[in-house]
Structure formats: C-alpha cells, structure tokens
Chain A
Amino acid sequence: MTSGGSQSGERSATSVFSGDEFSFSMPSRLEYLSVIDKLVEGIIEACEIDEEPGIALATSVIEACTNAIQHGHKHDPSKFFSCRFEFASDRITVTVTDSGAGFDLDKVLVSDPTGPEGIMKSRGRGIFIMKTMMDEVDFSTGDPTGTVVHLVKFLTDGPGSGPGV
C-alpha cells in the first residue's frame, strides 16, 4: 500500500480512503447509535487508526449523534439526522446535521461540567466531551436552520496535529 499524499513517504492513516466522502441519514432513534458505532469501528480498523484517536473519534461521533437525536429532534423518528464522513491523508472530518430548533451555544460553553457545580449534574457533557477529545469542533446552530457539528481528528504527526485523549 502506498502513500496517500504524505510528503514523508509514510503511509498516512487514512490513505485507504483519502479523498473519499460519503453521507447517510437515519431516523432519530437512539438504537441507531449502535449501527453508527459499528461503522466508525470499521473505519478505525480499515484506516489502522491508533487506539486513543480511535476512541476519541468513536466517542465524539456518538456524542454528536446523541445530541441530534435527543436535543435536535426530541427522539422523533420521523425526523432524520445526517452524518457525513470526509477522508483526507491526514484527517477525518465528520459532520452531523439535524433540523431541530438549535440551542444557545454560549450558554452551553460557559458551564464547566468538570467543576464543583457541574460534575454531579446528570446532563450537559456532550459538547465538552467532543471539544476535549477532538482536534477541531465547530457548531452552527439556530432556528429554523438546525444544528451542524463539524468534528475533525488529525491522524498523523506534524503541523496541525492536535492532542489526543
């Protein structure tokens, strides 16, 4: 197997799918999270992604999809959320989109779920988990546009490669 564009000549983690992208949509049922997790597990195996970035990717994709199902669509299976996977030589980008009412991102970001006031709360960790585990996370949210979450995980060493778990 040859390099997917790495200047060092070493095979990059995602070279098997580099340049590819695909997307799908699913009804807003929590049970589909298991299906998505199996897909991500397959991607991790095919791309030979190391354990820590693999855990970060799988965990964060599940969080983004959980938010779409629970908060975006309020578990309404007639509403579909979408996932898009994009593969580059040095990164995987996942975009999760719902058509819900959106949320106040500033309000969510200001709370610290690991602090004394937040750590015993049963909710409010999803975005924190994504932002901690992924290298890049950004949100576009509003009503009636819904919420779009971009998750990026760099998979090779070098400039732009962020910390793992």
Chain B
Amino acid sequence: MKLRKSEKDDVAILRLSGKLMGGPDADVVQDSVRQYLNDGYKKLLLDLGDVSWVNSTGLGILIASHITVTNAGSTLKLMRVSRRIDSILMVTKLNTIFEVYDSEEAAVASFGHKPTSEENKTS
C-alpha cells in the first residue's frame, strides 16, 4: 500500500493505493492520521479510490484510524470506495460507522467546505 497526502482548505486527504491488508500498512496510515491531528486538522478524508481490496486486517486499520480521529474530537470519512470494498463494509456493517462518499467534491462538501478567499473572488 502507498499513501499520499494532500489538503483542500481545512480538509486533510489521505490517498491510499494498492491493497490495505495489514502488516506495515497500519503504521503508515496511523502515523499520517496522527500527523494531521497534531497539525490541527479536524476534518480527515481517506481516499480509497485506488485501493483494489481490503481484508479484515485492513478493516482494522480503518477502525483504528476512526477511533484515533474521533477521540481527538475530529471527523474521519471515506470516499471513492470500490464495489468490492463497499461489499465488505456492508457485510461487516461498518457502513454504519463510516460516512462514505462517491466523489471528493461530495466528501469535502459534507464537511461544510468554506470557500477560500480566491474562490470567493471568482464566484
């Protein structure tokens, strides 16, 4: 699994790719989540658009991240999950824990996106 980080205004986005299956993946995700929390971010998104599959250990990584973020008084949401990942979220009922969005636009908007001053100028 690989992880890239980006930010859209006050939303931190962690873009995962490959397979989420445990081992070192857990530390990679948790370290990045904690870094964003330490930097003061309250709104975090996990982009699973380039993750081909998740096993039960990978689900554990998502849950651990959710707990870390929630305990910090922040919010973690998922976006761009594949049909296969959506199935495992439904079977395990984790779709009742995670808010899941089809697109980045919808996910960011769900946080109550505040337009930047540049966006305000062009709107």
Binding site for B on A (CB under 8 A): 30, 33-34, 37, 51-52, 55-56, 58-59, 62-63, 66, 70, 75, 113-114, 119-126, 128-129, 132-133, 165
| The 3 nearest A-B residue pairs measured at CB | A122-B60, A114-B93, A125-B56
A114 to B92, CA, bound (A): 6
Q: How many residues of B contact A (CB 8 A)?
A: 27
A34 and B19 CA atoms in complex are apart in Å by: 8
Q: Which residue of A lies closest to B70 (CB)?
A: A120
Within 8 Å of chain A (Cβ to Cβ): is B83?
A: yes
Is B63 close to A, CB under 8 A?
Answer: yes
Of B23, B87, B93, the contact of A119 (CB 8 Å cutoff): B93
In the complex formed, the residue of B with least CB distance to A115 is B93
Q: Are A30 and B22 within 8 A (Cβ)?
A: yes
A165 CA to B83 CA, complexed, in Å: 11
Q: A120-B67, A129-B91 are in contact. Are A66 and B60 (CB under 8 A)?
A: no
Decide: B57 and A66 in contact? CB cutoff 8 A. Answer: yes
Interface centre among B59, B60, B64, B87 (most CB of A within 10 A): B87
CA gap between A63 and B63 in the complex, in Å = 17
Report if B55 contacts A (CB, 8 A). yes
Q: Are A133 and B91 in contact (CB under 8 A)?
A: yes
Least distance between B101 CB and chain A CB atoms (Å): 21
CA distance A148 to B93 in the complex (A): 27
Decide: B97 and A119 in contact? CB cutoff 8 A. Answer: yes
The answer to whether B60 and A123 have CB atoms under 8 Å apart is yes
Interface string of B85-96 (1 = CB under 8 A from A): 001101111101
* A59-B87, A114-B92, A119-B93 known; A125+B19 contact, CB < 8 A: no
| CA gap between A13 and B93 in the complex, in Å | 30
Q: Contact partner of B22 among A59, A70, A114, A119, CB < 8 A?
A: A70
Question: Closest CB of chain B to A11's CB: distance in Å?
Answer: 25
Please determine whether A55 and B83 come into contact, CB atoms closer than 8 angstroms. Answer: yes
* B92 & A128 in contact (Cβ 8 Å cutoff): yes
Are B92 and A125 closer than 8 Å at their CB atoms? yes
CB pair B93–A33 under 8 Å, yes or no, is: no
In the bound complex, CA of A121 to CA of B60 (Å): 7
Interface members, chain B 62-104 (any A CB < 8 Å): 63-64, 66-67, 83-84, 87-88, 90-94, 96-97
Across the interface, do A120 and B63 meet the contact criterion of CB distance under 8 Å? yes
Within 8 Å CB of B23, what residues of A?
30, 75
Q: Is the CB–CB distance between A33 and B21 below 8 Å?
A: yes
